[in-house]
Chains A and B, each alone.
Chain A
Amino acid sequence: MSANAYYLPVGLPAPAPANDGLDKPYWEGTRAHKLMVQRCNQCKQYQWGPEQICNHCHSFDLGWAEVAGTGRIYSYERIWHPVHPALKERGPYLVVLIELPQAGNVRMVGNLLGDGRQEVIIGSAVEAVYEDHNEDPKNPFTLVQWKLV
């Protein structure tokens, strides 16, 4: 994917794995175009974002599960007022909150691909699109975006 194919302009903060290593499997997964969600090895409950303990059974034995990159729109917003220099000329863009029924209804934040002015309907089915960023060879990363099915 070339830089001008990104949904948002380059220059926004790049994601970096937390320095405690907690979310490394998620970011490595995105590079391989896999959607990884933290899951308790004991009670099997999914949780997101990643945490050091299972909020349900308090086990520290947490693993990662690859889940299907599909979901539905739980909420959304169309952002007009830019608060970052990289977005000054972008025009309106859509941020969506996606619920993953196949992973205990955890929610993930992304952009809804396509026209920033399109109508958005809560409950719409979406699928993940992996947006590879290689503009900085020292820090390549992949964002998980969403498109309507």
Chain B
Amino acid sequence: MKYIIFCFTLLIYSCNSNKGTIKVKGSDTEVNLAVVLAEKFHDKNDSILISVSGGGSGLGIASLLNGTADIANSSRSINDEELQLFKKKNIQLSTFFFAQDAIAFVVSDQLPLDSINTKDLAKILSGDVKNWSSLIKQDIPINIYGRQNNSGTYEFVKKILNIHFSANAKQMNGNAQILESIKADNSGIGYVGAGYVMKGTTNGIKILKIFTVNSKAVSPLDEEKIASGSYFFQRPLFQYYKTQDYQKVKPFLDFEKTMEGLSIIKSSGYYPVKK
């Protein structure tokens, strides 16, 4: 008897919730920003519960498609196959550009290399060049610390350099693990969102300047260069949502556009969107 009362109470409890929920999922590059935004949002509006998860841009978009997320954080633009899947389900998609990001290539500060050109980087990441000796005077094998294939950062690097990652590239669980690994491994090279290396965790690592055939070395920490779009590895950060859900996600999106939201974005190491 008591048991039945229990169940009943639980049922009432579950149906009675006045709180709306916004599920935000996706890019690990954006997840910490989303966490801080959600936290500050709660101070302004505590009638909406925001749950944030990482897992990679692929996860975000898939979750949006599957209905298990309301906003998909993505550090890459949605690709054709994914668009097809949305079309098949007759779902209209809207995009919100909320920040610019730069990808930093990091090595240990023990490595005597300060800048690298995109061609050499491509050869290293695809496994064609396995040793640092071609770039510096030391015979050290290269250890690649990268992301897994559900990561937008992974996809972006792969696409823009037009390579397949070496099968020996270690696939770490997130940006943070990559930094930890580089700090411990002075033969390593890894890539992370610039936001991760802007907030003071730079002991032990060095951010490489990138140069191409057309440009001189640019660092991802150079705000002006980013604003003018001159850094090779820079990209806009997206939030996708279903057009039909606009009213539901509007409160959070609006918050991101406010002064407070923008200052949070900046202090997390991202750049305002190119106008």
The answer to whether A and B belong to the same complex is no
Q: List A residues at the B interface (Cβ < 8 Å).
A: none
